[in-house]
Amino acid sequence: MPVDRKNMSKEYTINYVENPEASAWGIIGRGLSAYNHQQTKDRKFERICFVLQSPDGEIAGGAIGELYYGWFHLDLLWVKDELRGHGYGHDLLMRIEEESRQRGAKNIYLDTFSFQAPDFYKRYGYEEFAMLSDYPPGHQRYFLKKQL
Q: What is the DSSP-derived secondary structure letter of residue 123?
A: H
| Confidence grade of residue 1 (pLDDT, cut at 50, 70, 90) | low
Amino acid at 46: E
Helix, strand, coil shares of the chain, percent, nearest 5, are 30, 35, 35
Distance of alpha carbon 59 from alpha carbon 73, whole angstroms: 21
Domain ranges of the chain: 44-147
| Distant-in-sequence, close-in-space partners of 60: CB < 8 Å, separation ≥ 6 | 52, 53, 54, 79, 80, 83, 88
- 99-107 mean pLDDT: 96
The CATH fold assigned to 44-147 is Aminopeptidase (3.40.630)
Model pLDDT for residues 7-48, shown as the tens digit of each residue: 656 787 768 767 777 678 788 888 888 898 889 887 788 999
Q: How far is CA 127 from the centre of its chain?
A: 17
Distance separating the N- and C-terminal Cα atoms of the chain: 41
